[in-house]
Amino acid sequence: MSVLTDLKKICTHTFENFSLRSLTTFKIGGIAKYVVYPEQAAQLREVFDYCIEKDLDCFVLGAGSNVLADDNGFDGVIICTKKLNQISKISPCRIRAGAGVLLSSIVRFCAAEGLTGLEWAANIPGTIGGAVVMNAGAFHGQISTVVESVTVYTSGKTEILPKSKLFFDYRHSVFTNSKNCVIMEVVLKLKKGSPEQINANIRQNVLARASTQNVGYASAGSVFKRQGKVIPARLIEECGLKGERIGDAMVSPVHSGYIVNLGKATGSQVSALIKKIKERVFNKFHEQLECEIIFLKGENKCKDS
């Protein structure tokens, strides 16, 4: 029996030879051998176990907003969490969200319920699962401030991890480099607030993001992590790299912390531009920039290797 047949038995929404360009906000990447869209936690667990049993490369993908996919594609299984999008209120100030719920949806849900603490996430094009993995943040806010617990699955075991076991740091969590577990849902604890003030804060953040980060082309957001007082965008600009191009990959003239796809950029062009930026910044400022984006290549086992 083929892998495709097996996966379709687990999850109806399974596809073969699927373009990664359509799964990432960068609009870059080759062909994924299989893409699976679980609709229930049970399907997610079963697909994950199947990949481990068959020793298949596996990559869990949310909105693909922080990912650079390889031009050669991915010869394995992409588990896309977009259909795990249930959200509910479980107490006056606590909500539960499936791993694939968009941050923007959670922000709207909280605003309608008069819950404050996530206004900074308005218009961030990612899922709650991805946000937890990278401890996403903006406008002096970050997801770690509102996470209460995360339900994860490893082979044969479901576990609820409290915040104390998530080891959050700047753009980092216990999940950042882990390949042997998958996030299923997240519980967030917020505070009661004025709906009027919450919506005003959301509007302010949306306008601020539009004025500074509306780069006009496909991108994966900030390419490099801030490190203490080191602001990558400022160093890149001072190196004269704003607007620098390799093929259709370009340092944004609007925000030099972004690399944009002018239309036909490849992963190799983006990687080459990243290398050039890192070298130029190191030569001038002796600062080693660290990438914030995740590289999707054909070597992401579901288990530690």
Catalytic residues: 171, 222, 292
Lookup: tokens for 188:
């967030």
From 265, 273, 266, select the one nearest 291 (Cα to Cα): 273
Q: What is the DSSP letter of 196?
A: H
Lookup: tokens for 231:
């602001």
From 49, 63, 207, select the one nearest 134 (Cα to Cα): 63
In sequence order, which residues have a C-beta less than 8 Å from that of residue 142 and are 6 or more positions away?
Answer: 135, 136, 168
Which burial class, exposed, middle or buried, applies to 196 when counting CB atoms under 10 A from its CB (0-12, 13-18, 19+)? exposed
CA–CA gap between residue 142 and residue 98 (Å, rounded): 19
In sequence order, which residues have a C-beta less than 8 Å from that of residue 2 and are 6 or more positions away?
Answer: none
Question: Given its phi and psi angles, is residue 186 left (phi above 0), alpha (psi -120 to 50 degrees) or beta?
Answer: beta
Please report, in angstroms and rounded to a whole number, the separation of the first and last CA atoms in the chain: 26
CA–CA gap between residue 16 and residue 32 (Å, rounded): 7
From 183, 201, 186, select the one nearest 107 (Cα to Cα): 201
